[in-house]
Amino acid sequence: MTVPAAVGPIAVVGASLAGLTAVQTLVESDAVTHVTVFGSEPHLPYDRPPLSKEVLKGAWPAERCALELVDDDRVIWRVGTEAAGLDTTDPSVPRIRLRDGAVHDVPGGVVIATGASPRTLAGAELAGVHVLRSLDDAVGLRADLDRRPSHVVIVGGGFIGAEVAAACVQRDLRVTLLEIQDAPFERVLGAEVGEAVIAEHRRRGVDVRTRTAVAALCGTDRVERVELADGTSLPADVVVLGLGVTPNVAWLEDSGITVGDGVECDATLLAAPRVVAAGDVARWPNPRFGEFRRIEHWDNAIRQGRHAALRLLAEHGHGTAEPYATVPWVWSDQYENKLQVVGSTLGFEEAVIAHGSADEQRFVALYRRGRHLVAAAGFNRAKLVTRYRRMLVEPVLWTDALAEAQRAAARTAV
Ligand SMILES: Cc1cc2nc3c(=O)[nH]c(=O)nc-3n(C[C@H](O)[C@H](O)[C@H](O)COP(=O)(O)OP(=O)(O)OC[C@H]3O[C@@H](n4cnc5c(N)ncnc54)[C@H](O)[C@@H]3O)c2cc1C
């Protein structure tokens, strides 16, 4: 009988949610000897969701976002240390190169958890222009909001843009939200649901402008105005860019790993022998939805962090390699409203509000692709969303989903 060998040293690159969860999982195994975590930020892992909510509103100090670390002598945290390259030429000994030139052989393998960075625009270097990804971004933006700017302009009506708008309104600031599509969230949720989600913003005084493209951010040292593609301009002393993110893969150029829109993995999250990826950076074929994509949500970072760590152990004969199948789940808090989306709306062909209504601000919309239900978006309907989340673990016929929703509506009407 062959006894599985000790596993180590292992490198986890990215000291955030997916990386931390991977570490927590790795140290559950007695076979693991050493894990070193390299993180380019100066901070130990912290949670990002409160940055655009409690921290920005001023309800939480930034330190409260710190995540609980693993108390284990086998783990070394090297924050403020950026990985600059990965060499996978020898499949049994991946090699990490750090920005300072140091090289580490890691026969235990590598967990890539380098996340994603915000997209920006020309002019983003002007003072007063912000992105919101890191704790330092949130502290910088909050300090600017504390100075009570007279015009905050938010570019992009997605999750980050909408949450920042809500935080600014709750601070009594004047906000304009610019969205290039017909409605905020249109691409992800459809125009009707997008409008319903953004309605509260309009009611609270946010100047929401759709079909509006930005041409330039202008000012001398500090931003002064946003020029729009239609030739008009808006005064702005704070601008927040909520334009989505791109995966942090530049350091993997020439690594032998396929990168494009993320680190390309197989269904088990393996990117190369003894190299796995997890979280916002990982692109993999999700067998549940037949999609090859990345997911940029908190819950996925945790689940993938765990799965990738187990997959790495399987490379060494500890456990078996399993595909990672998941029903994505994301939430967003805006004012007192909670939006949750379960499943995948990617390429949906039809959206129907099947429970409640947009007017009552309590509803669940269902999404169809082909003959199947692929996602549900709930607005202030947490319990129902949980039901759909369980339901979506298996394929559900669209006709069955609609019939079930009608039965549920009839039961509530009685
Ligand atoms: C403001 C904000 C609010 C959010 N709110 C929600 C929410 O309400 N609901 C929800 O579901 N999701 C939310 N998310 C998304 C969620 O936080 C992310 O999906 C999650 O943080 C992804 O974790 P990750 O570990 O994969 O990547 P990240 O958290 O991006 O961490 C990656 C880390 O790797 C580091 N790194 C990058 N390159 C290198 C390198 N070469 N060497 C070393 N380190 C490197 C980065 O600096 C970073 O610290 C929010 C995100 C943000 C930014």
Measured in Å, residue 18 CA sits from the centre of ligand 1 at 8
What percent of the chain is modeled with pLDDT above 70? Answer: 99
The whole-number pLDDT of residue 364 equals 97
pLDDT interval class at 60 (50, 70, 90): very high
Whether the pLDDT of residue 414 is over 60: the answer is: no
Measured in Å, residue 303 CA sits from the centre of ligand 1 at 14
Mean pLDDT of 328-350: 97
Measured CA to CA, the distance from residue 140 to residue 187 in angstroms comes to 30
For 273-317, write each residue's pLDDT tens digit.
Answer: 999 999 999 999 999 999 999 999 999 999 999 999 999 999 999
Count of CB atoms situated within 10 Å of the CB of 68: 8
Mutate to test the pocket of ligand 1, among 12, 13, 16 (most ligand atoms within 8 A of CB): 16
Task: Return the ligand 1 atom nearest residue 299 CA.
Answer: 11
Mean pLDDT of 137-166: 97
The whole-number pLDDT of residue 317 equals 96
How far, in Å, are 14, 19, 272 from residue 31 at the CA level? 22, 19, 21
Count of CB atoms situated within 10 Å of the CB of 20: 28
- Cα 42 versus chain centre, distance: 20
pLDDT interval class at 413 (50, 70, 90): low
The whole-number pLDDT of residue 408 equals 84
- Exposure of 323 in the CB half-sphere (CA atoms within 13 A): 12
For 37-58, write each residue's pLDDT tens digit.
Answer: 999 999 999 999 999 999 999 9
**For ligand 1, atom 37: residue with the closest CA:** 114
Please state, rounded to an integer, the average pLDDT across all residues of the chain. 96
Contacting residues for 336 by C-beta, under 8 A, at least 6 apart = none
Measured in Å, residue 253 CA sits from the centre of ligand 1 at 21
Measured in Å, residue 45 CA sits from the centre of ligand 1 at 10
Check the CA dihedral 396-400-406-412 and report its sign: negative
What letter would DSSP give residue 376? Answer: E
Mutate to test the pocket of ligand 1, among 13, 44, 48 (most ligand atoms within 8 A of CB): 48
Measured in Å, residue 137 CA sits from the centre of ligand 1 at 12
With 0-12 / 13-18 / 19 or more C-beta atoms within 10 angstroms meaning exposed / middle / buried, residue 170 is middle
For 92-104, write each residue's pLDDT tens digit.
Answer: 999 999 999 999 9
Mean pLDDT of 338-361: 96
**For ligand 1, atom 38: residue with the closest CA:** 114
Measured CA to CA, the distance from residue 205 to residue 208 in angstroms comes to 9
Task: Return the ligand 1 atom nearest residue 43 CA.
Answer: 49
The whole-number pLDDT of residue 409 equals 79
Measured in Å, residue 32 CA sits from the centre of ligand 1 at 26
CB under 8 A, 24+ apart: contacts of 289-293: 289/343, 289/344, 289/346, 289/374, 291/344, 291/346, 293/261, 293/346
Residues with a CB atom less than 6 Å from ligand 1: 13-19, 38-41, 48-49, 51-52, 82-83, 113-116, 132-133, 160, 248, 251, 279-280, 296-299, 301, 330-332
Measured in Å, residue 126 CA sits from the centre of ligand 1 at 24
pLDDT interval class at 86 (50, 70, 90): very high
How far, in Å, are 160, 210, 332 from residue 185 at the CA level? 11, 11, 12
**For ligand 1, atom 4: residue with the closest CA:** 49
pLDDT interval class at 262 (50, 70, 90): very high
Mutate to test the pocket of ligand 1, among 241, 243, 280 (most ligand atoms within 8 A of CB): 280
**For ligand 1, atom 7: residue with the closest CA:** 49
The whole-number pLDDT of residue 2 equals 64
Task: Return the ligand 1 atom nearest residue 45 CA.
Answer: 49
Mutate to test the pocket of ligand 1, among 114, 164, 335 (most ligand atoms within 8 A of CB): 114
For 70-84, write each residue's pLDDT tens digit.
Answer: 899 999 999 999 999
Measured in Å, residue 48 CA sits from the centre of ligand 1 at 7
Measured in Å, residue 269 CA sits from the centre of ligand 1 at 18
H helix runs in 204-317, sequence order: 298-315
